[in-house]
Every structure is written in structure tokens, then in C-alpha cells.
Structure 1
Amino acid sequence: MREVRPLNIAYLCALAGFFLPGLLVFREIPPAYFFFCGLLGLAALFRERRELSLRIQALLALPALAYTVLRLSVETLIPVLSGFLLVLQTAKFLGPRTPRDLLQSFLLNTLLLVGAALLRFDLLYAGVFFLEVLLTVSGLFFLFASRESSRLPEPSAKALALASFGASVAVLFFSGFYFLVLPRARFTLFSLARGRGLTGVSDRVAPGEISALKEDQAVAFRVRWLRGRRPQRPYFRIYVYNVYRQGVWESRLPRRKRGRNEPADFEVEVLPEALGRGLPVPGYALEVATLKGPQAEVLSEGLVRTREEVLEPSLYRLKGRLGPYPADLPPEEFLYVPPEIRRALVGLALRLRRTSLPETVAAAVAYLQKHYTYTLSPGKPRGEPLLWFLFSSRKGHCEYFAGALTFLLRTLGIPARVVGGYAGGEWNPLGGYYLLRQNQAHTWVEYFDPARGWLSVDPTPASGGIQVPPSRWRLLWDYLEFKWYYWVLEYDFLKQRRLFLKVGRGLEGLPRSAWHPHLWPQAALLLVLPLLGILLWRRPRPRSPVEEFLCLFERRGLARLPGETLKTYAERLCRIFPHLSQEISRFVELYYREAYGQEKTRKAQQELLENLRARLDIEVSQGLKSFKKKRPFKL
């Protein structure tokens, strides 16, 4: 029969448990730590024994410790400590494979998993966490089994693996249960554990800043559509820019807001995934409710800001209306054109003037899209960036097109402004939300129509906004990430309270007939079944005949010695009990035939065991009678 070494299985579990969290955090850890790990590997490669002693491990880890101390700060605390754990774990795997060393390796793996949670607590981490629990529990099972025997028969190893899998499932179940019921705090260890990056749109846009984001696939926001008509290609407004200076647009709108009692066209939930204070609005925001995170408020022109930068998992609910947008500020504030640009554009603007406002805007947009080319790398501008784009390079990205159309319309006396946000987005029908990525950051133009209000127009050629449709697998993965974010990262006291209230209402909503006096056995069954399950769980496992055999002689002071095989132990018992040697030898023979020969000898073992127990009990009783005759008790 094949045998396995449980210590080797425990070592493989620890090694796999080391690589899984390491793959999660390798981008966040400073590269110097991988250099230290390589030094450890080279030291082990050029040694004859291939195993590093504890002294050599400590000496090689000292440079990593010094580097960690020098790099340690509040901002780099988690990455450098995780990197140092990576070095320690590498040194540990290059050392001896003793049970004590493997136990330390499992501890280091757990610490590395905690560090990975603080750096990257996403859906991929959930899968790694599940595998890590399975590997750790299985490794500990085989590690402690190796202390009992250096080799295990293959059926015993399979049974041990099955038991470890059941224990892992139990650990995950109770972890989820405690996650749901334990009191929730506002800030947790995972509040900053999402690998946040800077938001793609800010209150200041310089030439090239938006185009630099076109290669970034990182998620910036998720906008869940709750109610209302969904536009075919929505534009999510974040900033309205009203100040221009040498190619740089800035948003310096007053913070005052005006209450409007208007019916809302839509209702959405915004889940930020990036740092920043602006929230995307698919139109004009009327009101905002802060469900979690820094307090948000509606400002002028229907924009939404948070009072503090979003540094934790947050959730906001917005109500608003689609365009045209009302004018909170006097439209005349959006007519200024720098003199240098006005002198250069006045001739072109007059040629584009038409009899009506919509025709003039359409002519200006058509002119820009026909005579200019969209590109992400137009080159470094010389002189005034906007004039360089219009009269020299004739190619640029969305900032140039939006700025050119804005000043063309202002030169003709039409109020216009540049707006920054996200265009389009990826619609996920599985979760009913828009996924806004950094590469979808965009700028466009809003012009004022006295009869209707502010209207949106996008002068950037269509080639600048082409998006590859996401695949079904990508949409499914993002939907799972959305659920992970919504129910794990966003799980707070309010959601916990709503969950408990829903369970309570479900119990209250049961039909009264379910609690009828004649149906009391139902209630009794609901109480008895959990208690019965606990009793069955706590019920001791029936011992095998060989375990009963060992206990039979252990109770008589003849315990099996450490490292003593069953055959050697039986030979020692035969020398002590020569009149029982035949039964003892026969029992051991039957056990080996069952364990290694796959023969069914369990019944014969049980009969021999009962015979041995009966003969030993007779000997004990006869010994007590003879003892009482020689030494009677005195009362």
C-alpha cells in the first residue's frame, strides 16, 4: 500500500500559502525586497546542504531589516512591513523542514495575508482568502499528524484531507457569520485597503492631463441606476470650469446652492473607487443623501462635492434631472475671452455665424471635427496652447476641442463653458450600473440657450471616444466585484440593521396558522433540531479496535512508547503476558492485514479484543481476591 509523508504535504501547503498572498501584493512592495529574496535564494543555491541555518538566515535578513527601518513611515508602513515579511518567509523556506519551522511559516503566511488585505481588499482577495484558509487548515492537520507518525497510509491521508476540508468550510462559515452579526464601526482595517488612485478629473485641467488617463483602465466610479429614464450615452458632470489661464482651465464657482422644488428625472447611487471630492452626476443634481462616507452637498450648477476627500468606502444617493440644465449663475459670467485669443478667433467665428443659435453651434462643431484630428499625443504646445492647436498643429485631444469651441462661441456672444467628467461608461445589465473607468475621463462644452437653459455638446471627433464593448465574462467579473464592494466593503451598521430588521419582519410576517396550538410540534422541532445537531457534533467518534487495544493496556500502565511501532509494542506485551501472546500476536496480524492488505478483518479484531478484555478482567478480579485474603481491610 502506498504511503505518504504528512510533513511533506504540510510543507507544500505552507509554500503554496506563501505564494498566494505574495502574488497579491508584489506590485505594492518596494522592489528592494525582491532583491533581498534573490540574495537568499543564491545563498542557498551555492551551499552544499541547500538549507540555511538560523544564524545565516538572520545575517541575510539584517540588510532587509535595516532597509525597512530606513523606509518606515506612516505612508509606507504596510508595504514595507509586508515586504519584510516576504523576506522572512523566504528565509524560513530555505531553512530546515521541522514541524516547528513549518508552524512559524503558517504564522508568517497569516500575517502576510493580513498585509495583503490592507493593500488590496478586492474580489481577488476573497478567492485568495478562501484558498489560504484551506491550505492553512490542511497544512496544520498534516503537520500535527506528522508528530504521530512519519508516514501515513494513503486511505488515512485521504480521510485526513477530507476532514481538513470540512474544518476549512466550518471556519469560513463562522467567519461569514461573525462578519454579519458583529457590531460594525465606521472605520475598519479595510477602510484604506482598496488600492485607491487619484480620480481622473480634478478642479484643474491642463493640456494633456485628461489624455494621460486614456491608457488607465482603473475603475473610478460605479453609478447604479435606481429609477428614471436612462440616456443612451450619458455624460457624468463633475466640474464646470470658468477660469482660463495659458491653456489651464480651473473651476472656481461659488459654493452657494439654490434649492429647487422640481421633480427628479432619475435617482442613482454613486460608489467612489478613487480619491477625490467630486461626484459624477448624469445631469443636474437636485439633492444628495450621504449613506456612508464624508458628507456631500449640492452646489451651484447642479454639481456635487464632498466636504472632505473620500478616503474610505463610501456610498451616495443622488436625485436630479437630465438636460437642459437651469442657470444658477448669470450666464454673462461665461463670456470672457482673453484678448489675444479674441483677436485671433474673431474672423473664424464670424464665418461660422448662422441665423439661429443651434445652427451656429452645429457649424462650429462641424468645422472643428472636419479640419482637426483627434490624437492622444499632439506634442508639446508652443506659445498659447489653444492658438497653437487651432493654427499650427491642428491635432489634439478633448481639452483642445472643448476649449476651442468654448472660445469660438464666446467670441460670438454665446455663453459657453468647459465641463469635465466622464463620457459614456460601460453599462452592466447584471447589476444595473455604469462602470466609469479612468480612461473614460472627458471634457465637453455646455452653451446657454435663453429659451431652454444650458445644453451639452461634444466637439471631440467620434474617434476620440470609441470604446471596445466589454465581454460577458468581463461584465460578470465586474458585477461580482460590485457585489463584493457593496456587501463587504460597504457593509456597515446601517446595512446590518436593515438586515436584522428584514429578518425580524420575515418572522413577524409568518402566517398565524404556522403558530397554531395544534401545530406546536413545528416549534418544538425548530428548537430540537439545532440541539440534536450540537449533540451529534459533540458526540465522540467511535474508536477503532486498534485504538481500543492500545487503551486496554494503557489503563494498566503499559502505554506505547514514543516511536515504538505496533509490532514492537505487541512483542513487549507478549513478554509481559506470555499466556496472552497468541491472542496479542493474532490481533496485530489481523490489523496489518486490514490496514495494508485491504482485507475485512474488523469483526475478527473485535472478537479477539473482547476475549483479551475478558481475560484481563478475570486476572484483575482474581488478583484483588488474593490481595484481600493476605491483607484484609480494617474498619
Structure 2
Amino acid sequence: MTLARVFRGVVVAHAGLAGLAYALAERESAIAWLIPLMAAVNHVAHERGASRNLPRWQVYAAATLALSFSIAQFWSVGLNVTTFCEFLGLILLVKLWDRRQARDYSQLITLGVFLQIGSILQSQSLVSGVLAMLQVPLLIAAVMLYQVYAAAERVRVVRTSEAGEPPDELPRRAQRDLAAATLGVLVVGAVVSAAVFLAMPRGVGAGAFGPVIAPAARAVTGFTERVELRRGGFISESREPVLDLEVRDGQGQNVGGPGTFYYLRGLTLSEYQGGTWRAAPVPEVRTQQEFVGAPIELPKPPAGRPLIQHVRLRTAGTGEFALFAALSPTSLRFEEPIRLSFRAHDMTLAVRGRNRAGPLAYTAISVEPAPRPGQQGRTPGVFFESTAVRRLAQEIVRGAGLEPDPDRRDVDDDRLAAGAIESHLRRRFAYTLEKSAPPPSVDPIEWFLTQHRRGNCEYFASAHAALCRSIGINARVVAGYLAAEFDPEAGLYRVRQANAHAWTEVEAAPGLWRTYDPTPPSDLATQHQPPRSLLARIGMLFDSIEYAWADSVVGFDRSRQARVFDPTPSLLRVRGRMGNLVDRLRTGTDPALSRRVGIVAWAMGGAVLVAGALMILRRAGPARRRVRGRRRAPRAPMPRFYRDLLRTLARRGHPKPDESPPLAHVRGAFADHADAGAAAERIVGVLYRHRFGGEPPSEAERRRIKADLRAVRRAR
């Protein structure tokens, strides 16, 4: 295989793999998916000779359109990783059809590198990590081959419009040396990268670029912040992991297992209007975590045994998103600075900002709230505006031997009434993944209870809350996840998008809420338990590997670094000083430091400008001399047979200019003498093999050169 073909293949493979990595990280981008597809099509067509480069005017037009589209995107959504990488992807697609010189291939390599960086910023999954590791040897090989290819291009045999490819074959020794150098760079780079990964201080300068390096949107998790019953469709069955959960008791024993479910609360929805449940607008208690690893203590209700949950969100942005925990959380601990909001009325949590996007790990300690002494009574004014719903609720409660009228019913019977309604829904209604849209003129809950009688968990939870409210029992819908898929090897739950769930909480006493799930238990287990097929087992194995990747590589945070370098805490002190320095510079609280840094920055900027000017002048001098024809490159020693050929040409009236390649010159000198021209070309061929290949003329070639020189001298 020739040098040119190997180089082209490596460069296009690098660009295509970068496009594939970004497409997997940004799955909704059509531009990203086009890159690997077009790279493969272009390479196959190019190698078969069926592909031609686009004319320059078409390249410029396509690049202008790409720039215009990207400017419009920047204007509408702002500058972020997604918009910038889509611009790079469009330019890369154009450059795939504009491969003429080594410079064009270098641009493809550079675009691939930046696109790979964008994919890492967008996704830190195992697949992204594997593709990044595959990219590294390809990148090193592409850069090494580029040096050889560019040098070969500079010594093309003929510098005319008919110029062919650079010399095709590298000597075997050169191939071995190039492969050894590439392998050496790869090994040394891997060692240095591992050392930097372990030693680099975490968190220094995080968030300094603001939203520019943040993802354009939050990752889709399947969790919803509102329940819209009027919207039809199907419940997500995506197996995409959302979080990993490890559950322990107060003694540190793992209490998870197959058949044990945990309801992870995300948000409570207590306002119902027009077929939609929303969270009630209430004041929030805001807490900001300043010291990494220090617990955030929340109001503690009277409770029993604690439940310790170690949660790792697979993807999380820098904006606002809900946190998930079972029961009522009383304490939280993070391994990074976090801005947190806590809603005391329903014991739910949300992040209001963090410095970086990516996985988020936290530990939540929760308790089952217990009634306080004297905590009795019922929240007044609870109702649901539907005669049909109230009539059905009264019928269900009477059938259970309970009083439907809240004014005459004992408060302790509210819990029994809610249980009777839950049991009725489980027995009399059918579960389905399809979410049917009700007629526009009918309330969705009333339609579900009186006509349709089948639906998903959102309908079951909504109906239970509405039936309870209609007889004076305060109830609300809860949106979150059901942790049901337990991995015994890892000792934790895998929670996926398909595990998004809705259930209800009923107020047993003022401020004391109990969980109810009216979804039929058999259907609930079928929906949320993992499949038992071979593919499902392979998927669980992959999930275990991905969790190890996320936990050991992506989640290598300050605390893990501190444990690795525990005998040498000086590194952590350096990290603290660096972080303090960055904070002082960002806030401007130290004017003297800012002035010193400003002086250094101006000095460095001036040095860069001077160095740039010197480089421009250095390059401009030879360019001017070439234009004026006064360039005098140092001459390498010439073989005697070549000097004899040049003297013969000079006597014939064809002295060779310095800027003319030897083969082009002899072709012009003997344009009308085919035999003499062929003899001169053979002499130049021996010269090229001697000069560029390091091959001295053999005895047979020396005899042939003498004969060819005689033929050139005899030519008239």
C-alpha cells in the first residue's frame, strides 16, 4: 500500500471516528451523524477513483453557507459546545471534498481533534471514552504520516499542473522507523497523560468560561416536572441509564436486593388544572455548599431508622435539575461545590447551579417520618371539582365500611380510605404503556375513571389523588423513579429512563405524608424489572463496566485524588493555593495581585507579538527573494555524472535555472529529440534515487549513464 493511500486512510478514519464520537454524544444532531457516513462514502469513492474534488468556488460557497448557518445558530441559542461543534462539523464535511494538498489534510486532522474534544465535553460515557482512546493512536499516526507526506509533497518530481502523487513507496527501513517512532510517542504520551490525570488538581478554574463550555441543554432523563394527561403517546421504554443507587442501613449493611423496590422522589405535584399536574409555587430554603465533603444538614422530622443512599447521576448539567432520594432526606453530602434548594413543605431537593457538567455523585441520608406527639387533625378545604369522581370515591369508601363524609369520618380512617381507593384501582383498572388522549371536552381523570378505564402510571396516580381529594383527604402526585433493577455483583440499583414513575402521597396527619402506589403490582414489576434474555444479561454486563468507568475515571474527584496522594498532601495544598489564586483573580479582591498579573500578561503579550513579528519577517525575506529570482539556496554536492549532464546542456544553449527541477528542465531541453530526451531522463532518475532514496548507482547503472551521456552529446 502506498504512502499516499495509507495517509489518506488514516486521516479520513480519524475525522470519521471524531464525527461518530460526537454523533453518539449529541444524538439529536443530524449534522453529527452525517460526518462518519460522508467520510466513509468519500473515502471509498476517492480510492476507487470515482470521486473528484469540488471546484474552489463551490468549496467557498459551501463554507460561506456553513458560516452563515452557524452565525444564525449563535444568534438564536448562543455560543456553546453544540453550536460550535456543529459549525466544525459543517466545515469538516466541506473539507472532505476538498483534499488537494497536505495543508488540506492538516485541516482535517485539526477539525477532528476539536470535534473529539466537543464530544468529550458533551458526554463522559464509556462509549465516548473508548472512542477517545481509539482516536489517540489514529491522531498520532496521522500527525507522523503528515510530516512524511508533506515533506514528500515539497519534493515532488514535477511542480506543474500534471504533478502526480509524492513518491509512493517508503523504504522498509523507513517504514519500521516510522512505526517505532509512532509507538514510542504513543507509549510516552500514555504515561504522561496518566500522570497528569492523577496529579492535576480538580476544580481549579471550573466554570471560568461560563456557559460557553456548558451543554446547550440538559440531558433527557425520562423524568417529568409536570404530568400532562391530555397529551397522548407511549411511555418511554428506553434502557438508557440515568443513575446508580446503593442503599445501606444505619449499620452500613447493603439493604438492596431483587424484589425490593425504592421510590426515589424527585418532585411533588399538588396543583391540578386543565388536565395537568404542576408543582405548587412555595418559598424555598436555599443552601450553598461551600466546603466539599461537608454534610448539608436539613430539617429533621421525628423519625425512625436512617436509610443511607449513595447516588451517582450519570449525566447532569450546570443549570437547574431535581435530585432524587427516598423517603424524607435529612442530610446531603457532595464531592464538589453545589448550589442547592430545599423545599421544606415536601422535602424535595433541586440543584440550582454547579461549576461543571457531567456526572454528579452525592450521599443522602433519609428517614421515614413519624408522627409528632399530638400531631392530629386534617388539612381543611381539600376537594376535587368533579361530581362523577366524588360519587365513585364515596361508593368505594362505603364498600370498605368507611364513612365518605370527611366531617363525620375519623381522621385515623383517612389512611384506610386511601388504601381502599388504591386497592380498587389496582383491581378494576388495566395498565398499559399507551397514553391515550381524552376527548377535548372531558376532564382526563374523569374520562379515565368512568369510560376508558386503562392507562399508565400517571393516570393511576392522578386518579388516586383526585379520588382522595374528592372526599376531603389531602393527596398529591409524586414524580420520580422506581429503583427495581438490582445488580447483585455491584450491589446497587441501575435506574433507567424506563424506570420513570408516578405515584401518590397522602397526608395522614398535618405535614405527615405516606406513600401509595395504585398501579397494579404485577404490571409494575413487569414494567420495571429487567428482562431475562441473553441480550439483557449482556446489557447488564456493559452497565457494570460503564459504572466502573464512571466511578473510577469520570468520577475521579478531589476526594479520590486525596486518597491516592494521601502520603503527600503537598499536592493538595498546591491545589488549594491555585484555587485561591484563581478566585482572587476572578473576584478582583486583591488589586495588588491583579496589577502584578496584568504586568506579566502585558509582558507576555508583548513577547508574543515581537516573536510573531520576527517570524513574519523571517518568512517574508525568502518569499521576496523567490519573487525577485534572487534566492540562492545552499547547494548540495552533485554527483559527477549530473555535473557532466549540466555542462552538456549548457553547451547546447540550455543552462539550468536554480528554480527549475532537473526532470522538467531536461524535458524542455529535448522536446524535439525523443532519444536524447529519454537518455537524459534516465540520468535524472538515477540522480533522484541517489539524492532522495540514498541509493548509490550500481555498476550497471554507471555503464548505462556513460552510454546515455554519449547519446545526449551526439544529439543535434
Q: Return the TM-score normalized by structure 2.
A: 0.62
- For 2:483, which of 417, 424, 428 is the aligned residue? 424
Check 1:495–1:48 CA distance in 2 against 1; reply closer, same or farther (3 A cut): closer
Matches of 2:457 and 2:307 in 1, distance apart?
27
Give yes or no for the alignment of 1:240 onto 2:274: no
Give identity over the alignment, percent: 22
- Contact conserved, 2:383 with 2:469, CA < 8 A, in 1? yes
Conserved 8 A contact 2:245-2:312: yes
CA distance in 2, matches of 1:479, 1:165: 31
Match of 1:369 in 2: 426
1:246, 1:570 → 2: CA distance? Answer: 95
Partner in structure 2 of residue 476 of structure 1: 541
Q: Report the CA distance shift for 1:28/1:207 in structure 2 as closer, same or farther (over 3 A).
A: closer
- Which residue, out of 287, 290, 297, partners 2:334? 290
Q: In 1, distance between residues paired with 2:370 and 2:53?
A: 73
Match of 2:132 in 1: 129
Residue number in structure 1 paired with 2:229 = 207
Alpha-carbon shift at residue 569 of structure 1 (Å): 5.9
Q: Which moved more, 1:89-98 or 1:453-462?
A: 89-98
The alignment status of 1:463 with 2:527, answered yes or no, reads no
- Aligned residue identity for 1:312: A
SS at match of 2:71: helix
Q: Partners in 1 of 2:192 and 2:352 — Cα distance? A: 36
Superposition pairs of residues 299-338 of structure 1, within 5 angstroms: 299-300=343-344, 303-306=347-350, 308-309=352-353, 312-313=357-358, 314-322=360-368, 332-333=378-379, 336-338=382-384
Q: Does 1:176 align with 2:200?
A: no
Task: Check the 8 A contact 1:327/1:454 in 2, yes or no.
Answer: no
- Is the contact between residue 29 and residue 82 of structure 1 (CA under 8 Å) also seen in structure 2? no
Closer/same/farther in 2, CA of residues 265 and 378 from structure 1, 3 Å limit:
same
| Distance in 1, Cα, partners of 2:226 & 2:69 | 38
Residue in structure 1 matching 2:17, options 17, 20, 28: 20
- In structure 1, C-alpha distance between the alignment counterparts of 2:136 and 2:343, rounded to whole Å: 48
Deviation of residue 415 (structure 1)? 4.5
* Contact 1:225/1:268 (8 A) holds in 2: yes
Q: 1:304 to 1:485 in 2, by over 3 A?
A: farther
User: Alignment partner of 1:368: what SS?
Assistant: helix
1:254-309 CA distances to partner (integer Å, 9 max, x unpaired)? 64673347565221222333464321112221211233253335543662323515
Identify if the C-alpha distance between structure 1 residues 304 and 390 changes in structure 2 by more than 3 Å, giving closer, same or farther.
closer
1:71 aligns with 2:112: no
One of 152, 160, 181 as aligned partner of 2:178: 160
- Letter of the 2:89 partner, please give it: L
Tell me which residue corresponds to 2:219: 197
Q: What is the CA-CA distance between 1:318 and the residue it aligns to?
A: 0.7
State the distance in 2 between where 1:238 and 1:115 align. 30
CA–CA distance in structure 1, aligned partners of residues 233 and 372 of structure 2: 30
Residue 400 of structure 2 corresponds to residue 340 of structure 1: no
The one-letter code sitting in structure 1 at the alignment partner of 2:457 is C
Distance 1:6 1:359 in 2: 81
State the alpha-carbon separation in 1 of the partners of residues 456 and 172 from structure 2.
Answer: 66
| Paired residue type of 2:437 | G
Partners in 2 of 1:158 and 1:354 — Cα distance? Answer: 89
The 3 A distance-change label for structure 1 pair 167 and 264 is farther
Distance 1:222-1:150 versus aligned 2 partners, 3 A rule? same
Q: Structure 1 counterpart of 2:311, which letter?
A: V
Alpha-carbon distance in 2 for matches of 1:9, 1:330: 80
Distance 1:109 1:235 in 2: 44
Cα distance in 1 for partners of 2:489, 2:107 equals 44
1:402–1:460 contact (8 Å) kept in structure 2: yes
TM-aligned CA deviation for residue 192 of structure 1: 3.3
C-alpha change, 1:208 and 1:289, in structure 2 (3 Å) is farther
Post-superposition shift, 1:235? 0.9
Paired position in structure 1 for 2:121: 118
Counterpart CA distance in 2 for 1:323 and 1:478 is 34
User: Contact conserved, 1:219 with 1:435, CA < 8 A, in 2?
Assistant: yes
Please state how far the C-alpha of 1:364 moved relative to its aligned partner.
2.6
Kept after mapping to 1: 8 A contact 2:256/2:491: no
Contact 1:374/1:463, CA 8 A, preserved across alignment:
yes
Number of residue pairs aligned between Structure 1 and Structure 2: 521
Q: Which letter maps to 2:190?
A: L
Match status 1:501 vs 2:629: no
| Unaligned segments of structure 2, at least 5 residues | 153-166, 286-297, 403-412, 571-633, 640-686, 704-716
Matched, 1:10 2:70: no
The 3-state SS of whatever aligns with 1:130 is: helix
- Residue-by-residue CA offset, 1:513-567 (whole Å, 9 max, x unaligned): xxxxxxxxxxxxxxxxxxxxxxxxxxxxxxxxxxxxxxxxx9x967997854434
* Cα distance change on mapping 1:151 and 1:346 into 2, 3 Å: closer
Q: Please report how far the alpha carbon of residue 416 of structure 1 lies from its aligned counterpart in structure 2 after TM superposition.
A: 3.6
CA–CA distance in 1 between the matches of 2:496 and 2:231? 15
For residues 188-587 of structure 1, the aligned pairs below 5 Å read 192=214, 196-207=218-229, 213-225=235-247, 227-228=252-253, 229-230=255-256, 232-252=260-280, 255=284, 258-260=299-301, 264-272=305-313, 273-274=315-316, 276-296=320-340, 298-300=342-344, 303-306=347-350, 308-309=352-353, 312-313=357-358, 314-322=360-368, 332-333=378-379, 336-341=382-387, 343-354=390-401, 360-375=417-432, 376-381=434-439, 382-449=441-508, 454-461=513-520, 462-465=522-525, 466-467=527-528, 469=530, 471-501=536-566, 563-568=691-696
Structure 1 contact 10–140 (Cα < 8 Å) conserved = no
1:98/1:285 CA distance change after superposition, 3 Å: same
Alpha-carbon deviation of 1:55? 4.8
Q: Is the 8 A contact 2:397 2:420 kept in 1?
A: no
Distance 1:557 1:339, change over 3 A: closer
Shift of 1:327: 11
Deviation at 1:324, TM superposition (A): 6.6
Given that 1:51 and 1:96 are in contact with CA atoms closer than 8 Å, whether structure 2 keeps it comes out as yes
Once residues 53 and 569 of structure 1 are traced to their aligned partners in structure 2, the CA distance between those partners, rounded to angstroms, is 43
User: 2:501, 2:101 → 1: CA distance?
Assistant: 59
Q: 2:4 & 2:14 partners in 1: Cα distance? A: 15
Within 5 Å, give how 1:605-616 maps onto structure 2: none
Deviation of residue 448 (structure 1)?
Answer: 4.7
Farther-moved stretch of structure 1 (214-223 vs 130-139): 214-223
Amino acid corresponding to residue 95 of structure 2 in structure 1: K
Amino acid at match of 1:22: G
When residues 205 and 334 of structure 1 are mapped into structure 2, their CA distance, relative to the original with a 3 A threshold, is farther
Change in 2 beyond 3 A, CA 1:117/1:346: closer
Q: How does 1:46-85 map to 2 (within 5 A)?
A: 50-52=52-54, 54-73=56-75, 74-75=77-78, 77-85=80-88
* Cα distance between partner residues in 2 of 1:299 and 1:363: 30
With normalisation by structure 1, the TM-score equals 0.70
Structure 1 contact 289–316 (Cα < 8 Å) conserved: yes
Instruction: Using the TM superposition, give the Cα deviation of residue 90 of structure 1 relative to its aligned residue in structure 2, in angstroms.
Output: 3.4
CA distance 1:359–1:80, shift in 2 (3 Å): closer
Specify every segment of 5 or more residues in structure 1 that has no aligned partner in the other structure, as ranges: 506-553, 576-635
- List per-residue Cα deviations over 1:370-417 (Å, max 9, x = no partner): 322222222324422211111121122222212322343445554443
Output the CA distance in 1 between the equivalents of 2:274 and 2:374.
Answer: 27
Contact 2:42 2:96 in 1 (8 A): no
Kept after mapping to 1: 8 A contact 2:268/2:476 = yes
Offset from partner CA, 1:22-55 (integer Å, 9 cap, x none): 11333354559959x979979x99x998233545
Q: Show CA shifts across 1:427-482 (max 9, x none).
A: 23444332322221211123355699643221112325523526333223223333
Partner of 1:520: none
* Residue in 2 that maps onto 1:519: none
Matched-pair contact (CA < 8 Å) for 2:328–2:367 = yes
Superposition RMSD in Å = 4.3
Distance 1:572-1:144 versus aligned 2 partners, 3 A rule: farther
